[in-house]
Structure 1
Amino acid sequence: MEHNKFSLEGIFDLCQQYRNDIYERKDLKQVLNRRKVRFINPEGKFDYAYFGDFYFKSMERMMLVTNNRAYTRYHQCDQMENYLWSTVPVIFAGVQTGYRDDTGREIYTGDIVSVNEEDGKHEFTSVVRYLPFASEPSLICDNFDVMFSMCKHGIHVVGTAYSEMNREMFDFFDSHFVFWPTSQFYMNGMSTEEVIKRAATAKNAPSFLEGCEPIKNRGNKTLYSDINNAMHGNFQLVCVDGDEFIDDHEGPCSTLYADNIPDDYEGEIRNIRLNEEADSVADRLKDSLNEFMIYAHRHPETKFIICDFAKSLFLNESEKREVAKLFSPLRQYNITNVVLPSWISIWLVTEDTLDYMCGGIPNS
C-alpha cells in the first residue's frame, strides 16, 4: 500500500521516485497538486517551495535546490555535485493541507490548532499531521487521531510546533519532535494552556532556544579592484596558465598568465589551463573554466580568487567581453565563493542591464 503523498513518508518516497527529474530541474509542481511545502531556512525563518525544488537526503534531512542569492551562500556540496545549482540544508516544516482555519489562514502539517465547539469554545488542541495511509489530515490525540472531517465547527491555528529549536536540527531533524504537544495527554505532561502559549511563540516564525539560533553567513564580496583586499579567510588563488614545457633548470613548467599575484604570496595556486589549439581566447578558456566552476562549487568552504589575466593575455575590449561571458554561470547560479577581477564583474552587470532593457529578466 502506497503512502499518502502528502505525508512526510509519502513526500520522501516521491523524492526518491523523481530524483533524476529533480536533478534535471524539471517542473514537478503537479506531483503534489501544486501544494506548497514549508521549510525553515538557514536564517531561522519560514519559507516555502514546490515539489521539485527540494529532495530528502534522508528522512531527517531536507535539501533545498536553488539559485536564489539569499540561499546560495549556504550551499553544501551534496548529491548534485556535478551541477551549479546550490543544495542547502533546511528543516521540513509541513505541507499545505488544502484547508483553512476560521480566520482564513492556510493550515500546514506541523501547525498546532484548536478544534472549535458549537458554542465557540475550544474542544481540544493538538498538532496537525498526515498519517501515512490516511486520505485527509488529522490531529494527534491520546491513542487515536481526530480527522479534519470530524471537526464540524472549524478549527483555529494557535501556532506551530517549531518552537525551542536548535541549529543542530539543520543536520538532523527527528520528525517526532513536532509531537511535543501530545505530552498534554499523559500524566504530569503540559497543560493545554502551556501548549498554546509555547505554540504561539512560533506562529509566524520558528523560535530557537537562546544561544542555539542559526549562525548567519553573509558570504563574500564577489569582485575586487585590489586583490590584496580579497585575500583573507580560507582562500586559494586561481591563475590562467598555458601548456607545459621543459625548462633546462627547473624541469616541467607552464606559462602563468597572472597580472597581480602579490610578490610575497607563497600559498597554493589552482590553474585554469588554456587550450592552445583553439582559435579565440574565449574558446581556449571555455572547457577548463567550466571544469573549474564545478570544482569551486563542490568546495563552498573555500574562497577562490581569480587572478587578473587581461594584460598577460593582451586582451582587447572585444575579447574581454567574450571572456567575461564565460563567467556568467557564476552570476546565473549566484555562486558566492568565486571572487572576480572587477572588469569581469562589470561586463556581467552590463550584460544583465542590456538583457533587462531588451525585455529579459536579469539574474537576482
Structure 2
Amino acid sequence: MPVERLMPTQESADLVDLTRSIVERDLRPRVDACEKTASFPRDVFRTLGRAGLLGLPYPEEYGGAGQPYEVYLQVVEEIAAAWASVGVGVSVHTLACFGLLHAGTEEQKRRWLPDMLGGELLGAYCLSEAHAGSDPAAMRTKAVRDGDEYVITGAKAWTTHGGNADFYKVMARTSDTGGKGVSCFLVPADTPGLTADVPEDKMGLTGSTTATMLFDGVRVPAGRRLGVEGQGLPIALAGLDSGRLGIAAAATGVAQAALDVAVRYARERETFGKAIIDHQGLAFLLADMAAAVESARATYLAAARLRDAGRPFSRQASIAKMVATDNAMRVTTDAVQVLGGAGYTKDFPAERYMREAKVMQIFEGTNQIQRLVISRSLGRY
C-alpha cells in the first residue's frame, strides 16, 4: 500500500509520484528475474538519472535538483521498497559523488558532476579492504606520486557496482602517517591496471554486483585527486554520515515492502472461518511490524532534517542506520513468520526481503560500529 508522506513542497510530492510511476513501469516488472539470475540492471540507473532522480540532493548548477535530503531519502525508500539492489545502488552512487561536490575544484565539478548526476556515469565507492573494514585508517592500498600522476597499487574489497561502475571513488595511502596519510581519487573504470575480481556470491542483493577491485599500477592524473593530499579520510568519513541515511531509507523501504506482503497475505488467508489478520495474536505481530516501520522512517527523517538545516547529524545518522536496519531485519523475519510455510518459499518475496535486510546491518558501518559512534558521542556531553 502506498506510504502516506508529508512532503515539504508540491514539487517534492510530484517527485515521489514520478518515482512511483518509474518503479511500476521499469523496476517492479524486472526485479524477480534480475535477482534470480544476478543480473546488474545498468540501464535502470540511466533511466533514474535522466528522470533527475540520481541528483536530487545536489545543486542545480551541476545538473542536480537542489532538493533537501529528506526528499531524496524518501525517493530512495520508494525505490528500495520495489527493488532493494537499485535503492542501495542509488545511495552508493550518491556517496560516490559526495567527495567531488564537497572537495573538488570548480573545474572538476563542472567537468564530471553533470554526467554523474544524469546517470551517464555510474559510481562506486572504494574504501574498505579485506583486513581493514571498520578501521579504514589501517588501509594498505598506496598511491605514489610520479610526476603529474599517481600510481595506485592494492585492492579494495566489498565494492558495490564493482566491475559495472564507470568511475571509482578511491581512498589510497599517500604517506605513512596513519589516518592523515590517505588521499581521495576519482579513477575511471577503463584505466589500465584496474580490474574487478570475481563477484561475491551473496545471500541477498544479488542484482547488485559486489566485487574486490584490483589496482595493479593504476596511473591516475593528479588532476583526479580530490582535495589536498591527506584529506581523503575526512572526505570519506564525512560522506559516510550521509551514506548511512541512504541505507536507513533503503532498509525502511524493504521493511515496508515486507509489511505490505504480510498484511495482504493476512487479509486473504483464512483459518477457523476468518482471515488470519482477525486473530489477535497475529494482528498484534502486524501492529508491531507497522510500528517498527513508522519509527524507522521518523528516525531517518529527523536526522535528514538536521542535515538540511546545516546542523551536526553524525550521531543521529548512526542512530537512524542502526534503528532502521535492525527494524528491517525484525520486520522481514516476522513477515516470513506471518506467511508460515509459504514465507519460506520463493513463491513470495518475503524470504528475499529477509535476505536483503541482513546485509544492511553490516555495510556502511556495522551496527556494532554505530553503537560505538553513538556511545562516544554521549560521553562528550
Answer yes or no: same fold by TM over 0.5: no
TM-score by length of 1: 0.26
- Give the greater-gyration-radius structure (CA): 1
Higher helix share: 2
Higher strand share: 1
